[in-house]
Chains A and B, each alone.
Chain A
Amino acid sequence: MLAISACNMTPLISGKDVLHAKICIVDYDLVCAAGVGLPAVRAALVQQRTGLKPNDFPECALETYIGRVAAVDEYVWPEADLEWKSRNNALVELALQQGTLLESLARIRDRVGASRIGLVMGSSTSSIDRAEAAYRVQREQGSVPEEFLRLKVLNPHAPAFYTAHRTGIAGPCVTLSTACSSSAKVFATAARWLNAGIVDAVLVGGADSLCLTVLYGFHSLQLVSSKLCSPFDESRDGINLGEGAGFALLTREDLAQGEGAILLSGYGESSDAHHMSHPHPEGEGARLAMRQALAMAQLQPEQIDYVNLHGTSSRVNDFVEGNLMAQVFPTGTPMSSTKGWTGHTLGAAGIVEAIIALDTFHTGLLPGTLHCKRVDPEIALQLTQDNRQGAPLHVMSNSFGFGGNNASLIFSRAEVGV
């Protein structure tokens, strides 16, 4: 086994204990095709009920399955907020309404003030759905009506603009857009801001909605499956696109006041330096990101109790990732891809899957790999579609994106965290 260990570090890993402050996650929630809000997502995971359905996305004739959040279609914009209208912003809105997110944020705001709270969002498409609609109208009518020309919607920063508007967060705001690792990297940036004392709390999040750009874009790359996606299965032949949004509220330990039962204990970020849309053949960039995260968390691979894999169900990506994981982790480390429930939510995959991973501290439910009936014999990984029960202390979530952009996160239960 090619284990990662702290004594086998390349110069690319500082090995420095860079998380000076303990970073606590005081609240989190999400929406995705598997469910609107944590209770619904938990139920879908327990019951192994997929959120994927045959493609019925408007204007899209592709034969595939999609992870559509039906509640987004039902969302009615209040008159005062019509200028913010986009499918992506509706997803953000739905996510913000879940659970106790807004109450937790208000409590922190009362303590530190709105300008001491930062906002770090991740998204790959932002509100491009609205631009698509604008161009359709332009083609039909010859001009674009004013209602489409909204600077804060037709903007890569749109998800953060809308979230700041809705929450009153007045500190620094940013949207990270590194394709499918976008909303995993939000945790690293938030940790740096907290460490540096730039802010006292950070709302991190991510949102990506279904749109023609990604449906036809991935189709052009021949990566979209006409079947239900089945990560790591021998029969897999591509991805199902999904949509999702999620948030987590992070503070330093001194401000968590006992709410922070979960710690961000490590993160790693790296580049493949290989190709814009193909992974490094040996997964070197992904390996590096995991090594950094483990070094920062001061953990060995065998101490990780569950890994949420990127596992898109593409032939090449799953092959590279599966064999890399089999090298890095001991046989028997529980790991799975949850994209069989959600589809690939692209820029939201980081936050959706980080939340699924860290919520195992609450539920003890370690999801299986839905639709994976027989692992590809070319992949040296033991996976099943069955869920398991456990009492995890440390979990990892990995996200790898176009441009060879990799992020690995480790979360720990506070009582055992570093």
Chain B
Amino acid sequence: MTMQIDLTCYVYGLGAWGPGFANWGDLQAQLLDPARIPADLTAPPPKAEVIPGNERRRAPPVVRAAVEVSAQATQAAGVGLGDLACVFGSGLGDTEITDYMCTQLATPEKQLSPTRFHNSVHNAPAGYWTIATHCMRSANSIAAYNQTAGISLMEAATQARQEQVPVLVTLYDLCARGIYSNVYTVDQDFAAALVISPSLLAHPPLAKLTMKLAPSACAEPAWAPSFAHLCANNPAARVLPLLHGLALPAPQAEASLELAAGIFLKILIEK
């Protein structure tokens, strides 16, 4: 059964950071042409310059990665930062801080750093982002493991449509630390962001997205094996089929993101 749902929106900005790419331009080129993928796949450190210097030094790596791609996407979008609602999604959250806290709490002294404790909340990236951009809109913070990408996009699109606001949706997952590395296969860092708007703005969008619920997924994109690996092992990177569709030069493409077992958000991408 395929169900029409009213989640049409327009993409106005994209940001990306991950193994071998520092921005959307790099990622787009590599998605389309495997020859552009560098031999060295280590991710360059995220700049996250939108956060003031002393705050940035305190910001954990997941925050810097999420804020970096958010800044890229919003710069490209030409939307006032204070006008954007935001949805941040991560399958693992910050396992580096969890590892730190649980290690400390296993010692007799159980001393925690107050800054690292308040940074440990899943909504730390949303908090740092809204503080840095003076944004007072709704900020959501989502965990849905391997459905995080699909659920986050759906959350952003429902909010954009129903509350008539542009929405930033940012996905991030970094390599698992501590005992979490025995549980998760995430072995590469990845973050990406999209700015979506429920209606057309003064300037042309990058693409129009029309969504429906479908019982099956689209075929996996024809891309390099390194992207198949990233997509399979990093919950945030499960947004890559959508990014691949957005990277394609064709006027129309289709991509799907999983919402639940046997329920997919099927997205028609029109440029």
Q: Residues of A at under 8 Å CB distance from B?
A: 11-12, 14, 16, 18, 115, 124, 126, 128, 131-132, 134-136, 138-139, 144, 148-152, 154-157, 160-161, 170-179, 185, 188-189, 192-193, 195-198, 212-213, 216-222, 269-277, 284-285, 288, 401-405
Is the pair A157, B124 in contact by a Cβ cutoff of 8 Å?
A: no
Is the pair A221, B114 in contact by a Cβ cutoff of 8 Å?
A: yes
Is the pair B136, A284 in contact by a Cβ cutoff of 8 Å?
A: yes
* Secondary structure of the B contact surface, majority rule: mixed
The answer, yes or no, to whether B223 is at the interface (CB within 8 Å) is no
Q: Which stretch of B22-30, B67-75, B141-149, B247-255 is in the interface?
A: B141-149
Which of chain A's residues have a CB closer than 8 A to the CB of B155?
174, 189, 192
Q: How large is the interface on B (under 10, 10 to 19, 20 to 34, 35 or more residues)?
A: 35 or more
With contact pairs A276-B127, A403-B127 given, residues A177 and B122 touching in the complex (Cβ less than 8 Å) = yes
- Among B7, B119, B127, B184, the residue within 8 A (CB) of A405 is B127
Is the pair A276, B112 in contact by a Cβ cutoff of 8 Å?
A: no
The answer, yes or no, to whether B241 is at the interface (CB within 8 Å) is no
- Among A132, A196, A276, the residue within 8 A (CB) of B6 is A196
A196 to B260, CA, bound (A): 17
Q: Can you report 20 A-B residue pairs in the complex whose CB atoms are below 8 A from each other?
A: A12-B137, A18-B162, A128-B98, A131-B98, A131-B102, A135-B179, A156-B93, A161-B145, A173-B144, A173-B260, A174-B144, A177-B141, A177-B143, A192-B158, A216-B111, A221-B118, A269-B140, A271-B127, A285-B136, A288-B136
- Closest chain-A Cβ to B117's Cβ sits at a distance in Å of 4
The answer, yes or no, to whether B154 is at the interface (CB within 8 Å) is yes
A276 to B265, CA, bound (A): 33
Which of chain A's residues have a CB closer than 8 A to the CB of B135?
271, 273
A401 to B98, CA, bound (A): 19
Q: What 1/0 mask marks residues of chain B from 132 to 173 whose CB sits below 8 Å from any chain A CB?
A: 011111111111110110010011001101111100000000
A84 to B117, CA, bound (A): 26
- Closest chain-B Cβ to A180's Cβ sits at a distance in Å of 9
- Going nearest first, the 6 A-B pairs with the smallest beta carbon separation are A403-B127, A177-B122, A269-B138, A156-B143, A217-B117, A135-B102
With contact pairs A173-B147, A178-B122, A273-B134 given, residues A405 and B263 touching in the complex (Cβ less than 8 Å) = no
A236 to B103, CA, bound (A): 32
